[in-house]
């Protein structure tokens, strides 16, 4: 699936051209697109693995071989490049590939569906970019076919007699083909595949008003966010199959929480907001962004995590095989390099997650410094936001329009209890599903402020989460905090956080990045007498010493060398 890495790079580069035109970069992309065009077969087929290595085996290993997955990523790149530059070179290439896929699966009625979902959501983008309904039809075909014949991969495997990865075709949950998608109630299997699939489902449901598909998405959403997600927005509890396991099984140290999975969760949340603008989706989008997604990249942007643990003892990662997948420092690159270009395309297109609009309402989901032009109710509206998120919650919004009747819906973040709004007294105000709706005729230039005060907040997990019982995590606004050895010394497991936090917040630097640090009261357990010398000893009341705990934003951990880290800390007198 290396073609997909090139595709993600092209997509990220296309978004970056929108913000920062760059002749040299654009030329490089044009050359690359020409090369891709030359690799395309006359019948539209495009996949370098099969062209170079297995030219007689096209479409015979949908389970393992990522042909549709790579096509999906290249389609996304094609749409992004077309929208950024107006050039349709890559779009034309991918239309031919889309037509080829249509011919194979619809016209010639070939069986099967993708082993790794992705093409579904990409086809929806192709449909929107080209207006060609066949792409939506094809997306619906793959979504509706999935799991109806749940033995498809088994049959395919028996027929082809060859394998790329030696994957087990009987493991139906791994690729979410154990049941038709509308009957799936629990998130199972490979976490990235799952959220790509759900994103495609939500996209199709919103586009076609498919209630049963939307309902399936809502049930799966509740299952993940209420039972199978880390506080960082990380998903996937085990490295075996990079997968979900069961409700409330959220180990902090053997976790998977792939960067790509949290990015996929953001994609899905964005599509759910198109079905129903409920702030619970945007809350998770924000949680994933500032925690489990950003942690995937070093502050200098030069090294990456694939796995995003919530607790690390570096020595254990080096010596305990069960933790070999958890790297205590970010890596320059990976054999499976999905995460770095995925981060690049997410970050370079982050503006598209901040806003959505329908006929008469412009929704603000994420508060970030921005300057956008939107069309609502047939009128052009310019919206500028000044924000110091995620560190401060006071937002200044300037709307420029000419006699535009429009509702501006502002998300009230789940972490904020009492917001204050000022300077917009003439708007009709209504609060619904976590949004403050401001309805009025906007004229010329109007500036107002909304303030979401941030406090240091202590969180507990459900008591059903064995790994977190008796422990607390610290958040401030949308940012999850952690303890690092660098600031607190070795053996973080000996620390206790005081429920009377006496928290203080200060500005500090991690490398060259200015962040808000948090300090709280706490304790360190100390051993004395027998306990110091022996592995087991008669119980004695632990001794403890008062300390201040120094918390840093979770996403900035491991930027100052290899050291211990933990998000969940034991609570004094839980
Ligand atoms: Zn990845």
412 alpha carbon – ligand 1 mean position (Å): 31
- Residues, the chain, total? 574
pLDDT in tens, 58-81: 999 999 999 999 999 999 999 999
Token pair for residue 380?
A: 């052009």
- E strand or H helix that includes residue 211: helix 211-227
Mean pLDDT of the chain: 95
Q: Which residues pair with 254 in a beta bridge?
A: none
For position 555, what pLDDT does the model report? 98
Instruction: Indicate if the pLDDT at residue 574 is higher than 60.
Output: no
pLDDT in tens, 447-498: 999 999 999 999 999 999 999 999 999 999 999 999 999 999 999 999 999 9
Token pair for residue 351?
A: 């503006």
Instruction: Indicate if the pLDDT at residue 527 is higher than 80.
Output: no
296 alpha carbon – ligand 1 mean position (Å): 9
For position 475, what pLDDT does the model report? 98
Quote the CA–CA distance of 124 and 324 in Å, as a whole number.
38
537 alpha carbon – ligand 1 mean position (Å): 45
Quote the CA–CA distance of 249 and 228 in Å, as a whole number.
7
Q: Which residues pair with 397 in a beta bridge?
A: 385, 448
Q: Give the pTM.
A: 0.97
Banded pLDDT at 213 (limits 50, 70, 90): very high
For position 141, what pLDDT does the model report? 98
Banded pLDDT at 531 (limits 50, 70, 90): low
339 alpha carbon – ligand 1 mean position (Å): 4
Instruction: Indicate which residue of 118, 156, 242, 258 is catalytic.
Output: 242
Q: Strands 361-364, 394-411: parallel, antiparallel or unpaired by DSSP?
A: parallel
For position 267, what pLDDT does the model report? 97
pLDDT in tens, 122-168: 999 999 999 999 999 999 999 999 999 999 999 999 998 889 889 99
User: Is the peptide bond between 285 and the residue preceding it cis, with omega within 30 degrees of 0?
Assistant: no
Quote the CA–CA distance of 471 and 473 in Å, as a whole number.
7
For position 341, what pLDDT does the model report? 94
Quote the CA–CA distance of 415 and 480 in Å, as a whole number.
11
Would you call 242 a catalytic residue per the annotation?
yes
337 alpha carbon – ligand 1 mean position (Å): 7
Banded pLDDT at 334 (limits 50, 70, 90): confident
Nearby residues of 534 by Cβ (< 8 Å), 6 or more positions away: none
The SS3 assignment for 32 reads helix
Neighbours of 486 (CB within 10 A): 17
Q: Which residues pair with 440 in a beta bridge?
A: 406
Mean pLDDT confidence for 202-215: 98
Token pair for residue 331?
A: 């890596």
Instruction: Indicate if the pLDDT at residue 533 is higher than 90.
Output: no
Quote the CA–CA distance of 267 and 353 in Å, as a whole number.
8
pLDDT in tens, 252-305: 999 999 999 999 999 999 999 999 999 999 999 999 999 999 999 999 999 999
pLDDT in tens, 19-57: 999 999 999 999 999 999 999 999 999 999 999 999 999
Token pair for residue 499?
A: 């429920």
Instruction: Indicate which residue of 239, 317, 338, 339 is catalytic.
Output: 338
CB 72 within 8 A of CB 118: yes
Long-range contacts from 414-418, C-beta under 8 angstroms, 24+ separation: 414/279, 414/280, 414/283, 415/283, 415/452, 415/454, 415/457, 415/475, 415/477, 415/478, 416/452, 416/453, 416/454, 416/477, 418/453
Neighbours of 109 (CB within 10 A): 7
Banded pLDDT at 532 (limits 50, 70, 90): low
Quote the CA–CA distance of 470 and 463 in Å, as a whole number.
8
Q: Where is pLDDT greater, at 64 or 530?
A: 64
Banded pLDDT at 530 (limits 50, 70, 90): low
4 alpha carbon – ligand 1 mean position (Å): 12
C-alpha separations of 163 from 20, 66, 153, 422, 432 in Å: 44, 12, 12, 63, 52
% of the chain with per-residue pLDDT over 90: 92
């Amino acid at each position: 699936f290396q073609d997909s890495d090139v595709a993600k790079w092209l997509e990220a580069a296309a978004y970056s051209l929108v913000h920062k035109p760059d002749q040299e970069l654009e030329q490089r992309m044009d050359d690359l697109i020409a090369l891709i065009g030359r690799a395309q077969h006359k019948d539209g087929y495009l996949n370098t693995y099969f062209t170079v290595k297995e030219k007689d085996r096209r479409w015979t290993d949908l389970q393992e071989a990522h042909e549709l997955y790579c096509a999906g990523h290249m389609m996304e790149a094609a749409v992004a490049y077309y929208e950024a530059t107006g050039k349709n070179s890559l779009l034309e290439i991918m239309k031919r590939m889309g037509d080829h896929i249509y011919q194979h699966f619809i016209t010639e009625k070939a069986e099967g569906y993708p082993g790794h979902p992705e093409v579904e959501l990409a086809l929806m983008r192709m449909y929107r970019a080209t207006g060609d309904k066949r792409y939506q039809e094809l997306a619906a075909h793959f979504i509706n076919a999935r799991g109806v014949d749940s033995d498809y991969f088994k049959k395919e495997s028996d027929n082809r007699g060859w394998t790329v990865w030696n994957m087990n075709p009987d493991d139906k949950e791994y690729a979410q083909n154990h049941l038709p998608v509308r009957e799936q109630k629990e998130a199972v299997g490979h976490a990235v595949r799952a959220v790509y699939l759900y994103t495609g489902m939500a996209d199709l449901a919103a586009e076609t008003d498919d209630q049963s598909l939307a309902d399936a998405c809502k049930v799966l959403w509740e299952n993940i966010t209420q039972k199978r997600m880390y506080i960082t927005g990380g998903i996937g509890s085990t490295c075996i199959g990079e997968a979900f396991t069961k409700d409330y099984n959220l180990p902090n140290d053997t976790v998977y929480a792939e960067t790509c999975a949290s990015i996929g969760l953001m994609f899905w949340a964005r599509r759910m907001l198109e079905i129903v603008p409920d702030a619970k989706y945007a809350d998770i989008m924000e949680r994933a962004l500032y925690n489990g997604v950003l942690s995937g990249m070093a502050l200098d942007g030069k090294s990456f995590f694939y796995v995003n643990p919530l607790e690390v003892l570096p020595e254990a990662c080096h010596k305990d095989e069960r933790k070999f997948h958890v790297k205590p420092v970010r890596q320059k690159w990976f054999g499976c390099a999905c995460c770095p270009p995925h981060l690049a395309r997410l970050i370079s297109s982050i503006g598209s997650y901040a806003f959505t609009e329908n006929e008469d309402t412009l929704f603000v989901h994420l508060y970030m410094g921005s300057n956008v032009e939107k069309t609502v109710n047939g009128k052009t509206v310019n919206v500028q936001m000044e924000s110091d998120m995620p560190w401060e919650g006071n937002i200044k919004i300037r709307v420029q329009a000419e006699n535009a009747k429009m509702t501006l819906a502002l998300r009230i973040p789940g972490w904020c209890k009492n917001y204050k709004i000022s300077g917009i007294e003439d708007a009709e105000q209504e609060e619904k599903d976590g949004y403050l709706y401001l309805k009025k005729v906007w004229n010329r230039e109007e500036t107002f402020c909304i303030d979401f005060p941030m406090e240091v907040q202590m969180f507990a997990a459900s008591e059903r989460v064995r790994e977190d019982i008796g422990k607390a995590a610290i958040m401030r606004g949308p940012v999850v905090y952690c303890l690092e050895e660098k600031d607190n010394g070795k053996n973080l497991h000996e620390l206790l956080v005081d429920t009377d936090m006496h928290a203080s917040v200060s500005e500090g630097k991690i490398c060259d990045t200015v962040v808000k640090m948090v300090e709280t009261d706490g304790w360190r357990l100390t051993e004395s007498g027998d306990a110091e010398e022996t592995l087991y000893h008669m119980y004695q009341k632990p001794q403890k010493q008062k300390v201040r705990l120094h918390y840093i934003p979770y996403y900035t951990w491991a930027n100052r060398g290899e050291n211990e880290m933990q998000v969940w800390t034991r609570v004094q007198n839980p």
